[in-house]
Each structure stands twice: as C-alpha cells, then as structure tokens.
Amino acid sequence: FYLEDLGRLTDPMRYDIVSDKYIPISWDEAFKLIAKHLQALDDPNQAAFYTSGRTSNEAAFLYQLFVRSFGTNNFPDCSNMCHETTSVGLKQSIGLGKGTVILDDFDQADAIFSFGHNPGTNHPRMLATLREVSKRGGNIVAINPIKERGLERFQDPQAPLEMMTNSNTPISRYYFQPKIGGDYALLLGVLKHLSEWDKKALARGKSSVFDRSFIEKNTVGFEQMIAEVDRTEWEQIHNYTGLSPENLESIAQMFLDAKTAIFCWGMGITQHRHGTANIHMLANLMLARGHIGRPGSGLCPVRGHSNVQGDRTMGINENPSEQLLDSLDRVFGIQSPRKHGYGVVDTIKAMYEGQVKVFIGLGGNFAVATPDTPYTQEALRKCNLTVHIATKLNRSHLVCGADALILPCLGRTEVDQQLHGPQAISVEDSMSNVHLSAGRNPPISENILSEPDIVARMAEAVLPTSQVKWRWYIESYDHIRDSIADVFDEFHDFNQRVYQAGGFHLEHPANQHVWNTPSGKAQFLITPLAEVYEDTEHQYAAAYTQQKVYTLMTTRSHDQYNTTLYGLDDRYRGVFGQRRVLFMNQLDIDSAGFEADQWVDIESVFSDGVKRIVHSFRIVPYNIPVGSLAAYYPETNPLVALGSHDKQAKIPASKSVPVILHAGKAPEHFNLAVEVEPELANQRVSNL
C-alpha cells in the first residue's frame, strides 16, 4: 500500500548490498548484469521467467521466444494461481482450455449459472450484462457460499434514474449457498437428478432428458459417467454440498428447464485441490444437454488480468505442445527446449532448493501473490539475481536475491513511441476477442522503456549470437504481429484483422463440434465423489487437533486489485477501514465461545506438519455457511501450504484452507486505522 503510493518508477535501479538500498543504474549496465548471471548458469533450467497477466500479446510473444531461445520452458505465470484448472480441465473435456461463449450469447440465454465469482467487485462491467438478462426475465442462479451483495442486487451507475430512486434490479433470482468446496457434489447431484428423471422419462416412453443425438455424435464416456453418478449415494452428495435436498433438486430443475444456459465461474471453482475435477463436472453438464456450439449456451470462465488468456495463447506455458515448439523452430530456426518447465509452485520449490538461481518477473508481485509467504520469500532471497519489470514499486522488489534489479516500464496509458511511430499493443479477452489499444499520455519519464523493448534488449544482451532480429521487432510492433501470424494459424493476417474496429474473434473449435482431444470427441470425465472429498488434508487436520477444523477461503475485498490495495473498505460486505477481518457464521462464533469483533489468530493445518499462523484478525459475523470462513488475500497467503494444490493443474488451493482458530489480541505493530483520502483512492481506481 505504502510502496504503491510512492508513485511511478522512473529509472532502472540496482540493489546495493553495501548500503542496503536501491540505486539508479544505466539500462546497459542492467542488461549486462542480467546477461552475466544468465550466462553463468550451468543449465538454462536454472532460471525462471514469471509473467503477470497484464503483459500484451506482443511482449509475451517476444518474451517466450527469448526464454526458449535461451533454453528453458520455466514459465511460472499468474495463470498458475488463477484459471489453470480451467485451462487444464477444459482442454481434457472439450479440446481447448478456453470459454465457448461470446457476449451475444448472454442475450439469448434462458439461464445463467454463476459459480464462485463476485462480479460486483471483480467484474463490474459484467453486472450490466447480467442486469440485462435479469430484466428480460432470464434466470440468474448464483452459487456461492457467501451472499455477495453485488450478485443479489445491483444499481447501475450508468442508469441515473435508478440511482436517484434508490431502486435496483434484483440480479440473482435464485441464490444458493453451498459449503466451501461443495460445488463438485452439487454438480454431481444435478447430474444424478437428471439421470433419475431420464430413466423415468424413458420408462414412460417419453424423450430423453439428455441430448442423446449430440452425445452420440460428439462425445465419449457418457455411459461410464452415468454409471458412476448412479452409484453415488444421495446422502453423500447432500452431506458434501451443505444444501438441502429441495434446493439441490430445484437447481437441477432450473438447469433442465433452460433450453439455453451459460455457466460462468471464477476463483471459487478453480482454487481448490479438486479444481480440475470441478471443471470436468461443469463441462459434463453442458455436454449432457448439448449446450456447446448452440447460441445462448456455453462455458464462460471469467478471467482476471486483461491478457491472462492471451499470454497463454502466445506460448507462455511451462507445458508447451510439441506443435508450438515445432512452429517456433520452423519460423525462427531455433531449437526450442523439449523438456517441460516449472510453473509457480515448482519454481518456488526449485528456488528454495537452489535449483533455480535467477528469477525474472515481467510484471506482477510474485513474493506476495504466491502461497506460503515466508517459504516463498526465503526462496526468492536465495536467488543469485531477481529482476522485476514493473510500473510501480511493490513488496516483491524488497525480497531480493544477492543481486536485484527493478526495470521500469511504460504503463498502458502512455504513448509508446518507436522508430515507425507510436505503437499499439493487443490483448485477448475472456471471450477470445483480440483487440488493439494505445496509450495517449506522455510517458512519466524519458528513461523508461516499453515491455517489448525491455525484452528485446535483454534478449540481445543475453544471446549475442541469436539470429532473431530483436531490435527490428521494436521498430514497429507490426513486425512482431507478423511473426505471431507465422507461428499461430489462427492469427493469420493478424495486422490486417486487428486494425479493424473491435479487432477479431478467435473461434473455439468446440463450437464447430471439432474436439481437439486424444479421442477426437468431447470427453465426459468424472472422479468418484469419495476420491474428491476424502481429502487427506482434511483428514489430517481432523486427526491432528481436537479443535473444530474450518475451511477458509482467501478472497478479494472491494478496494484491491490482487496485491494492489487502493483503500481499506469492502463496501458491499460492510467492512470499512480495515482488512484483517474474518467472516464467520454466528452459530460458529457462539459454539466456539467467541464474540463479534473479537481478535483471533488463524492457524492452518497441513500434513507437512509446518506450523503456519497469522495473528490478529477480527471476527465479523456473516452470512456464510457453518464451518466455512473467509478472509482477505494476500494477508492470509502465509496459511496456504505450497504443497496444497490441485493435483493436475497445481493451482494453490487458496479457497480451501483447513484452519483452526485461537483467541488472539489486538495487533501491536501496525496501525489499522489508516486513513485514505477519498480522492487519492479514486485516482488509484482510475489508474487501474
């Protein structure tokens, strides 16, 4: 909060161990230092290259080309903490890890099911879309342990009359509050209702509840999935969802009644140890009703950073396909490394164990956004060199390796002047639309460079014999886009198409019923309920302590953008001037013998036996299921064990942290009543 407030970075800085300060350095010296460290490594896999999702397509493409020319696939990415389960799960289910809907589909959907995201705070523009659906009588079904006010009702600031009369459109006609992590059982329960209804319908000679012809033509695994669903006991399902049988049945009924339906989801689905299993189940339901490739229907993961999806498309991927590597080799005459690299979790482990010695971050706040904060920060401090390319200071810059650099870059709103004139950059949004944008403001300093330029100069310094024309790419980013078009078929005529108003849309093959899976069909994938919930972590926690074990979600307040805070309020949840709060059901508060406003310490319990505890959180009684708790990220990241992640996608399970509570005391070392001038806060909001 404080560091952000210091304003923009204007010169490259080098950490000076003698004075324990950062001091200005020339760009040439900075790149030389990077080259010295990278060239000194025994193996290119001793370096890791992080990306945060604001990086443009052009910068991301050059970055991955540089890193692969250097010789590694170590690409930890913010996606590894965000929608990786979506990318991995949907790839397996429908052949490509992206959503299938476009904005127009929302106009035609009978029902929108919203799972585990909080658009009121995190996707405010989406509320306008949902409001339109609600106004025309479409059903919006919210599934979220917390009653999020933004989802319940919504005042559109764009509609002044509504504001004046203080009326608002109810957003979600139906709101269901499962326990944290209960979605898998809920979705399986919906399938079980459908299966039972289907059997009855067929027995009476009526048509099937499922879209049999779609299933027949396009999918594999349906019968096995239904067999697993039929085998699963209702009691188990109800137990894990935390919903009443009637509520579960009504969700199934609404799903069945919807001729067109969209599933939207966010971090409440992805950040679990069973995140990928959740995604399979979302896809199963859509496939079973033929809801893919049909107008008004489909899958809609709601992403975060402006280009987190595009960075992946551009090849920022620790597990690249052979096809991508072959294309890069063909176009650039390089030999891309074939060995898969490290994502976020493995990078942290490798740094800690001394296997990764150089860390370079293109944006982001790695030391704070990642799990297991003390371990992670120690891991970073063990590096020979840490480099951060950033617009503003953040905490990660203080967690240095032996050598450390901060390289200041242009922000999105600034003019990016290069040899051929001012340059624009492109991003791909959650709905796979690619469009250009360019900054208008003069740069804050003459001594800062654009992200693509920093990457190109770094590449030149590190790889003096490289045949890639790094500097030429920077003269005009059209050059970069032409090369992107050479590597990726779907970006053919990139420059021509992207300069058209609104850019262009990348088609999802699944909408044409083309399935890029091993079987060539969409795949029904199911994990037995017991396997999902007989979670060893929770068993361990229960055995370890005689105390009640709760499940904690770590989530966002209204006044933050990930690790950037622009205020201390969470106005839709009624929290003001503080962030160290713990949302808790009144029944839990009573049975633990606590009181509202009391200070508690939160300890997480994992089978690795490490003691993880955060101190001084104030209890806020809240509408959240018994046994479920919520607190803000990143203050609670020290509680998330690095080893607690989705098995396949390795996403840290930051929404299912087993914790116990201890009575605590008011914090001594920091002042919670930090006042923020409203004007300053607004300014920060508009900057973001």
Ligand X SMILES: Nc1nc2c(c(=O)[nH]1)N[C@H]1C(S)=C(S)[C@@H](COP(=O)(O)OP(=O)(O)OC[C@H]3O[C@@H](n4cnc5c(=O)[nH]c(N)nc54)[C@H](O)[C@@H]3O)O[C@H]1N2
96 vs 389 by CB, closer to ligand X: 389
Residue 365 is a binding residue for ligand X (CB under 6 A): yes
Residue 82 is a binding residue for ligand X (CB under 6 A): yes
Question: In the complex, what is the shortest distance from the CB of residue 150 to ligand X, in angstroms, rounded to a whole number?
Answer: 9
Q: Report the candidate in 171, 133, 179 with the shortest Cα–Cα distance to residue 154.
A: 171
212 vs 571 by CB, closer to ligand X: 571
Question: In the complex, what is the shortest distance from the CB of residue 205 to ligand X, in angstroms, rounded to a whole number?
Answer: 38
Residue environment code for 105-118, b if the CB has 16+ CB neighbours within 10 A, otherwise e: bbeebbbbbbbbbb
Residue 684 is a binding residue for ligand X (CB under 6 A): no
Binder among 232, 247, 394, 426 for ligand X (CB under 6 A): 394
The one segment of 37-45, 246-254, 358-366, 603-611 that binds ligand X by CB under 6 A? 358-366
Residue 651 is a binding residue for ligand X (CB under 6 A): no
304 vs 310 by CB, closer to ligand X: 304
Instruction: Give the one entry of Mo ion, ligand X, none that residue 392 binds, where binding means its C-beta sits below a cut-off of 5 to 8 angstroms depending on kind.
Output: ligand X
Residues 182-201: x/- map of binding to ligand X (CB under 6 A)? -x------------------
Question: In the complex, what is the shortest distance from the CB of residue 4 to ligand X, in angstroms, rounded to a whole number?
Answer: 7
Residue 413 is a binding residue for ligand X (CB under 6 A): no
* Residue 561: both structure tokens together: 């953008």
Residue 386 is a binding residue for ligand X (CB under 6 A): no
- Residues shown for the chain: 688
The one segment of 102-110, 118-126, 280-288, 519-527 that binds ligand X by CB under 6 A? 118-126
The H or E element that residue 387 is part of is strand 385-390
Residue 304 is a binding residue for Mo ion (CB under 5 A): yes
Residue 564 is a binding residue for ligand X (CB under 6 A): yes
Binder among 41, 59, 82, 142 for Mo ion (CB under 5 A): 82
Residue 44 is a binding residue for Mo ion (CB under 5 A): no
> How many binding residues for ligand X (CB under 6 A)?
55
d(CA 124, CA 539): 38
Instruction: Give the one entry of Mo ion, ligand X, none that residue 554 binds, where binding means its C-beta sits below a cut-off of 5 to 8 angstroms depending on kind.
Output: ligand X
Residue 143 is a binding residue for ligand X (CB under 6 A): yes
Residue 266 is a binding residue for Mo ion (CB under 5 A): no
76 vs 503 by CB, closer to ligand X: 76
Residue environment code for 392-408, b if the CB has 16+ CB neighbours within 10 A, otherwise e: bbbbbbebbbebbbbbb
Instruction: Give the one entry of Mo ion, ligand X, none that residue 638 binds, where binding means its C-beta sits below a cut-off of 5 to 8 angstroms depending on kind.
Output: none
Residue 343 is a binding residue for ligand X (CB under 6 A): no
Dihedral class, residue 593 (left if φ above 0, else alpha if ψ from -120 to 50, else beta): left
Residue with tokens 């993880």: 612
Residue 266 is a binding residue for ligand X (CB under 6 A): yes
147 and 117 Cβ atoms separated by less than 8 Å? no
* Residue 80: both structure tokens together: 């590894």
Cβ neighbours of residue 209 closer than 8 Å, sequence gap 6 or more:
194, 195, 197, 198, 201, 256
Binder among 33, 390, 526, 582 for ligand X (CB under 6 A): 390
Q: Report the candidate in 27, 25, 26 with the shortest Cα–Cα distance to residue 15.
A: 25
**Residue 62 backbone dihedrals phi, psi, to 5 degrees:** -65, -40
d(CA 193, CA 241): 14
* Residue 498: both structure tokens together: 């992207």
d(CA 178, CA 175): 10
Residue 73 is a binding residue for ligand X (CB under 6 A): no
Q: Characterize the bridge pairing of strands 433-437 and 425-428.
A: antiparallel
DSSP 103-161: HHHHHH-SEEEEES--HHHH-HHHHHHHHHHHHTT-EEEEE-SS--HHHHEE--TT-HH
256 and 209 Cβ atoms separated by less than 8 Å? yes
Residue with tokens 């083309």: 514
Residue 450 is a binding residue for ligand X (CB under 6 A): no
Question: In the complex, what is the shortest distance from the CB of residue 124 to ligand X, in angstroms, rounded to a whole number?
Answer: 7
Residue 487 is a binding residue for ligand X (CB under 6 A): no
Residue 76 is a binding residue for Mo ion (CB under 5 A): no
Q: Report the candidate in 289, 292, 301, 214 with the shortest Cα–Cα distance to residue 263.
A: 301
Residue 664 is a binding residue for Mo ion (CB under 5 A): no
* Residue 192: both structure tokens together: 């079980």
12 vs 337 by CB, closer to ligand X: 12
Q: Report the candidate in 431, 521, 428 with the shortest Cα–Cα distance to residue 100.
A: 431
Question: In the complex, what is the shortest distance from the CB of residue 127 to ligand X, in angstroms, rounded to a whole number?
Answer: 12
Residue 293 is a binding residue for Mo ion (CB under 5 A): no
Counting beta carbons within 10 angstroms of the beta carbon of residue 450, is it exposed (0 to 12), middle (13 to 18) or buried (19 or more)? buried
d(CA 86, CA 84): 5
Binder among 30, 180, 261, 510 for ligand X (CB under 6 A): 180
Question: In the complex, what is the shortest distance from the CB of residue 319 to Mo ion, in angstroms, rounded to a whole number?
Answer: 19
115 and 177 Cβ atoms separated by less than 8 Å? no
Question: In the complex, what is the shortest distance from the CB of residue 672 to ligand X, in angstroms, rounded to a whole number?
Answer: 20
The one segment of 113-121, 230-238, 424-432, 608-616 that binds ligand X by CB under 6 A? 113-121
Residue 302 is a binding residue for Mo ion (CB under 5 A): no
76 vs 320 by CB, closer to ligand X: 76
Site for ligand X in 615-644 (CB under 6 A): 633, 637, 640
Helix, coil or strand: residue 240: helix
Residue 556 is a binding residue for ligand X (CB under 6 A): yes
Question: In the complex, what is the shortest distance from the CB of residue 654 to Mo ion, in angstroms, rounded to a whole number?
Answer: 11
Contact residues toward Mo ion (CB under 5 A) are: 82, 304
Contacting positions for ligand X (CB under 6 A): 52-54, 78, 81-82, 115-118, 121-122, 143-146, 148, 180-181, 183, 266-268, 271, 304-305, 362-366, 369, 389-392, 394, 409, 411-412, 451, 553-556, 560-564, 633, 637, 640, 654-655
